[in-house]
Structures are given as C-alpha cells and as structure tokens.
C-alpha cells in the first residue's frame, strides 16, 4: 500500500549539516528530498541515539525528529519530520525550497 503524504516532496540534492539538538555534535549529509513537513538525507555513518536534531539548510535551520533510518550500502538514509513551525518560518522554508529548486540543474 502506497504511503499517503500530507505535503508534496521535492527531489533536492543539497549538502546539509545535521546537528544533535542535545549534544550539539554535527555531521554533514546530503539532502535527497524535502517537503514543508520533512526531509530525507544520507550520511556516511549512523546517528544511533539521535532523535531530536536540527537540519541546517541554506538560509534556515529546522528542528526535526528522526522517524526512520536504514542502512544502504556503506551509507545511512534518514527520514525526518520537521517540528511544528510558525507561519513565517513555513513561508521561509517554502522560499528556500523554491529558490533551491530554481537554481538546481535538475529542477
């Protein structure tokens, strides 16, 4: 059965920094896709024990929770759900998504 998503996802290849909200330890990752409600990204290593994170996107940092992870080859794929955002932060996130989509060669 196909998953029903609340928000349209956009394919987006973009380097991001992922920060553990509890320890402030950070790693680099590669964003695969994004929506106003969440995202997926790849890292070279596991984020075992990480639950609450900040995803540093170009122009905005977004609080999120890891909802799923899986090992794929030598990398890890993470699916995250963004925390509730106010009206203006959602507008900013939409703007970042649109701007990045316009500047992407594939977008």
Q: Is the pLDDT of residue 1 over 60?
A: no
Q: Is the pLDDT of residue 105 over 60?
A: no
pLDDT tens digits for range 48-83: 999 899 999 988 999 999 999 999 999 999 999 999
Nearest Cα residue to 93 out of 79, 82, 105, 106: 82
Handedness of CA 103, 13, 88, 5 (dihedral sign): positive
Nearest Cα residue to 16 out of 97, 105, 95, 98: 97
Do the Cβ atoms of 52 and 27 come closer than 8 Å?
no
**Predicted pLDDT at 107:** 43
């Amino acid at each position: 059965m196909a998953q029903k998503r609340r928000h349209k996802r956009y394919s987006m290849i973009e380097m991001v920094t992922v920060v553990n909200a509890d320890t402030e330890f950070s790693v680099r990752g590669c964003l695969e896709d994004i929506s106003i409600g969440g995202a997926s990204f790849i890292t070279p290593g596991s984020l075992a024990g990480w639950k609450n994170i900040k995803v540093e996107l170009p122009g905005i940092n977004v609080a999120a929770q890891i909802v799923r992870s899986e090992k794929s080859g030598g990398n890890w794929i993470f699916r995250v759900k963004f925390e509730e955002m106010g009206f203006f932060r959602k507008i900013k996130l939409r703007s970042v998504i649109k701007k990045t989509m316009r500047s992407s060669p594939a977008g």
